[in-house]
A and B are shown apart, each in its own frame.
Chain A
Amino acid sequence: MNTLQKSNLTEDILSSFPLAKFGEANDSRKQAVIDLKSLGLPSNKTEEYRFTPITKHLEKNISWENRISWSDLNSIDNFLIPGLDANVLVFINGSYSEKFSKIISPKEQLEITTLGSAFLSKDVFLNQHFNTLVNSENDSFASLNTAFWQEGLYLKIPDTTRVEKPVFLLHINDASQEQIIAHTRLLISIGVASEFTLIEKFDSVGSNPIFHTFTEEIIVKDNASLEYYKIQNDKGTSQVCNTAIHQADSSKVNAYTLTMAGQIIRNNFNIAIDGKNCESHFNGLYILNGNTIADNHTVVDHKQPNSYSNELYKGIMDDNSKGVFNGKIYVRPQAQKTNAFQSNRNILVSDTATIDTKPQLEIWADDVKCSHGCTTGQLDEEALFYLQSRGISKQSAQAMLLYAFAADVIEPMKNEQVKGYFDTLISERLQKNF
């Protein structure tokens, strides 16, 4: 990684935290500080952040001297998903809020502890796995999060357990008084042959700047399955999400990332397929307008033979928005008989919207099936005319075509409430009001 920006900003950030209470995970925090010092923050010369000027955005908008973070929020009702019956775990300004959270699953299905107390009780699994999946030594924002996470949760699903109610993780940053810098952390272990659904949503109140880093490590054990949904639809947020998923033998992951609003959003979504006969489907949809920048960097790393991965990311960019997609597929030498597919399709609605897309396949095994494709274009004029020639207004025809393009991504979703919610958000954004 290029280190041009090792300058003042990194120093400012590091010196803003000396008084932070390093209660737990001190070794990994200290190491992360060292990593961050040596990495610096990414500049426009840093390959992995070439198109996404987060550092500039931070320099311009965030002050590192003032770290007050308090909130007098009295209700979270506006941020819930209608009809969703779930365990609601709420983070306010990066810290877990027991007051707003509501746990409905029995302890036998779902163990929830704060990371802090799990470290204090010297949980063996935690000590073995924490910070092992995420790439703190290579990514500045992952190391920033590892160094300074304020609070986090450790979710443990025992073996052979179907967690009936999903977990809905709601991050609210309250910037009504002051700017917010928040670092949240999550570790999840899904037991052998267990089933779990995770839904994440990010919101804010107030108009002061927000910078949020969120790092999650999810371990999916043998025969287990994970259904994962992420909704980023908050205008005020600037965010770096690091999601690292580890799959063991015969496990399944279906993941959906919906990005619709934000100042600058970066998702590092990494799946390590470290087992045989695994299946991973990961879909992304970014529908952007205004000046939003949304960058999805994905990695699927096939480390074992006979697994299948399928990635579908689609984007619709309007106004001055900017989409970035980078999809890496690694197939290691021992991962024979791998099937890995990737597709990235984009529609630019305005002349000033942009997309930078880059598929990156690195294949060391010889007996594999891999394909990738990416397209970027405008709406199909012929299809538009066809619909208009039936009496449909141009605006409706456009909405209809864009909606059809987008809906494809959410079609396989299993959770009906979340799917319905996604569908509503997409319809509203695309003005499909018929």
Chain B
Amino acid sequence: MLSIKNLQAKIEDKEILKGINLQINAGEVHAIMGPNGSGKSTLASVLAGREEYEVTGGEVTFMGKNLMELDPEVRAREGIFMAFQYPVEIPGVSTINFMKTALNQIRVHRGQQPMDAVAFLGLMKEKMKLVEIDQSLLSRSLNEGFSGGEKKRNEIFQMAMLEPKLAILDETDSGLDIDALRIVANGVNKLRSQNNATIVVTHYQRLLDYIVPDFVHVLYKGRIVKSGTKELALELEAKGYDWIKNEVAVA
């Protein structure tokens, strides 16, 4: 589904990704872990199409298309979804309204008819249950005055609405207490299927207790320095990132 080859990217003059290789197939969950500043969020942002980052080398294909050539909205329409680490607050724009616009522009892109208001509301009610989010929250200005947990639940709600092929969860666990974490993880798990894939970007192992990955990759200084299964995450938790840092230093 997603194939990343020797991806390099910089912001301003700082080189951050120094050659990432990653292959993700449908039905898989990949965790990207690593110490602060290792490039985890940059990787997520580059995949979502954030313009501040300049891709300086390598290639990324998504469902056979050169992802780097697509505008952010086209990537979303093709099936990529990023749950933001820090979801923005947008006064005057309600989640319901902008989701309706988003969903319909995606549907038109895929050659489907736009959804009418009744069908949209029906779909929304169904997805709201998944992340235990209240409609009153969705009628309010996007994320304005939301708690950390509400913001993240809103991200997963949007993901549920748009049904992406590839979901990228950027530090979705940051700022969540254990109850909110469980709700968010539950939502993600219910959305998992053989047809979609998930990238979970996280600093801590904690989230992976709830969203169990098939593969774990450790990112350090802009490269994937170690890959393994979910046991690698547990080992990291036990030994800390210094273990990886030392290993890399020795090599």
Contacts and interface: CB of A to CB of B under 8 A. Distances in A.
Interface of B: prevailing SS: helix
A393 B73 contact: yes
Most A-side CB within 10 Å, residue of B73, B77, B103? B73
Contact of A396 (B50, B99, B101): B101
B73 A386 contact: no
A190 B188 CA distance: 62
Contacts of A403: 92
Contacts of B92: 403-405, 407-408
A390 B49 CA distance: 11
Contacts of A385: 50-51, 72
Nearest to A432: B101
Contacts of B71: 388, 394
Given A394-B73, A401-B93, A404-B90, A387 B98 contact: yes
A382 B50 CA distance: 9
A343 to B, nearest CB: 13
Contacts of A408: 91-92
B73 A391 contact: yes
Nearest to A402: B92
B105 interface: yes
Interface stretch (B21-29, B80-88, B179-187): B80-88
A26 B99 CA distance: 63
Contacts, number: 79
Contact of B72 (A383, A389, A400, A407): A389
A381 to B, nearest CB: 8
B104 interface: yes
A391 B79 CA distance: 9
Nearest to B92: A404
Interface residues of A, number: 23
A434 interface: yes
Interface residues of B, number: 32
Interface string B138-178: 00010000000000000000100010000000000000000
Interface string B85-119: 00110111100011101111110010000000000
B76 interface: yes
Contacts of B90: 380, 383, 386-387, 401, 404
A387 B105 CA distance: 12
Interface string A99-118: 00000000000000000000
A385 B77 CA distance: 14
A56 B214 CA distance: 73
Contact of A392 (B51, B82, B98, B141): B98
A12 to B, nearest CB: 48
B48 interface: yes
Contact of B88 (A386, A392, A400): A386
B76 A389 contact: yes
B109 A400 contact: no
Most B-side CB within 10 Å, residue of A394, A407, A434? A434
A383 B73 contact: no
Interface string A387-430: 11111111011001101110110000000000000000000000
A434 B101 CA distance: 7
A400 B101 contact: yes
A382 B88 contact: yes
Given A385-B72, A396-B105, A390 B93 contact: no
A128 B49 CA distance: 68
Contacts of A391: 73, 76-77, 102-103, 105-106, 109, 162
Contacts of A387: 90, 93, 98, 102
Contact of A390 (B50, B51, B91, B102): B102
A403 B92 CA distance: 8
Contacts of A389: 48-49, 72-73, 75-76, 81-82, 84
Nearest to A391: B76
Contacts of B72: 385, 388-389
Interface string A372-386: 000000001011011
A405 to B, nearest CB: 7
Contact of B158 (A388, A390, A397): A390
Given A385-B50, A387-B98, A408-B91, 6 more contacts: A387-B93, A388-B76, A390-B73, A390-B98, A392-B73, A434-B101
18 contacts: A387-B98, A388-B73, A389-B49, A389-B76, A389-B81, A390-B162, A391-B73, A391-B77, A391-B102, A392-B101, A392-B102, A393-B73, A393-B105, A394-B73, A397-B73, A404-B91, A405-B92, A434-B104
A-B pairs with the 8 shortest C-beta distances? A404-B92, A391-B76, A390-B102, A388-B72, A391-B106, A388-B73, A391-B102, A386-B88
Interface of A: 380, 382-383, 385-394, 396-397, 400-401, 403-405, 407-408, 434
